[in-house]
């Protein structure tokens, strides 16, 4: 019998879907989706809703932020900047120069997501916030690092009511993409319902940074990716 709620940040991508499956093993689900002006916003929302239906989530909250697009600074929200593609013939995304962050980085985005999750957690009495961030085998965003989540846990402790106990959980943080695929299969995550492509909402492009990372994970895990791709 599950008694406590966990909030899961569910973009609708593979990692957040596996994260939802993991949270579902121990917690009642309160699923949170945030639109922030990213190109494939509508397609991601559909994935969110289908995954939430799959799990019969007790609570769901969809939030739209206009200001991340207004503030800009990212190719994910600014249609005038190109989305980087993976280098031809390699399944890895364009390697970032040492210390540089890809143009798809949305400045400090995950802090916005966690702030929303924390406010919601405080009101509904959820004890955990799950986020499917991946540190090493990923795009190198600074707000996907474990030290960022550790620091944010301190902010939650200091910035909420004394009786509030909310903790961020990052079950995938040090996993390779292939291990995430295998974990997803193990826990029965509905990966056919997910969407990862940054570029397209019909069939996945297979070439953007996010598609490339996902396909590499499936390839290395020896599992067939169940979603449709343009060149498949």
Contact yes or no for 23/53 (Cβ under 8 A): no
- Site residues for its own copies, 129-148, by CB under 8 A, read 142-143, 145, 147-148
Q: Which stretch binds its own copies (CB under 8 A): 38-46, 50-58, 118-126, 186-194?
A: 118-126
We find the least distance from the C-beta atom of residue 37 to its own copies, in angstroms, to be 12
**Angstrom distances, CA of residue 209 to CA of 48, 62, 116, 175:** 21, 25, 27, 18
Can residue 115 be called a binding residue for its own copies (CB under 8 A)? yes
Q: Which is nearer to its own copies, 153 or 219 (CB)?
A: 153
Q: Which is nearer to its own copies, 49 or 74 (CB)?
A: 74
d(CA 110, CA 180): 20
d(CA 135, CA 123): 29
Can residue 61 be called a binding residue for its own copies (CB under 8 A)? yes
Cβ neighbours of residue 110 closer than 8 Å, sequence gap 6 or more: 131, 133, 141, 143, 144, 148
Contact residue for its own copies among 66, 167, 186, 202 (CB under 8 A): 66
Can residue 122 be called a binding residue for its own copies (CB under 8 A)? yes
Q: Which is nearer to its own copies, 160 or 178 (CB)?
A: 160
Strand, helix or coil for residue 53: helix
Question: Would you state the torsion angle of the CA atoms of residues 192, 13, 92, 224, taken in this order, to the nearest 10 degrees?
Answer: -10
**Which residue in 177, 183, 187 sits closest to 220, CA to CA?**
177
Contact residue for its own copies among 8, 21, 68, 227 (CB under 8 A): 68
x/- binding map, residues 152-181, to its own copies, per CB under 8 A?
x-xxxxxxxxxx------------------
Cβ neighbours of residue 115 closer than 8 Å, sequence gap 6 or more: none
Contacting positions for its own copies (CB under 8 A): 61, 63-68, 70-73, 99, 101, 105-112, 114-116, 118-120, 122-123, 142-143, 145, 147-148, 150-152, 154-163
């Amino acid at each position: 019998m599950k008694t406590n709620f966990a909030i899961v940040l569910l973009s609708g991508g593979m990692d957040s879907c596996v994260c939802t499956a993991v949270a579902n093993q121990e917690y009642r689900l309160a699923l949170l989706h945030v639109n922030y002006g990213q190109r494939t916003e509508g397609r991601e929302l559909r994935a969110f809703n289908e995954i939430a239906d799959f799990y019969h989530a007790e609570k769901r909250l969809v939030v739209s932020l206009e200001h991340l697009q207004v503030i800009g600074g990212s190719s994910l929200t600014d249609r005038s900047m190109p989305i980087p593609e993976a280098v031809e013939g390699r399944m890895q995304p364009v390697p970032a120069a040492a210390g540089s962050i890809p143009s798809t980085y949305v400045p400090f985005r995950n802090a916005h997501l966690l702030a929303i999750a924390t406010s919601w957690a405080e009101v509904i009495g959820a004890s955990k916030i799950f986020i499917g961030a991946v540190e090493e085998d990923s795009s190198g965003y600074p707000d996907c690092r474990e030290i960022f989540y550790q620091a944010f846990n301190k902010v939650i402790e200091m910035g909420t009511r004394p009786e509030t106990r909310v903790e961020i959980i990052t079950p995938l943080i040090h996993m390779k993409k292939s291990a995430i695929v295998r974990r997803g299969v193990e826990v029965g995550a509905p990966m056919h319902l997910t969407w990862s492509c940054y570029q397209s909402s019909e069939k996945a492009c297979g070439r953007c940074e996010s598609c490339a990372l996902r396909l590499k994970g499936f390839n290395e895990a020896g599992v067939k990716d169940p979603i449709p791709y343009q060149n498949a």
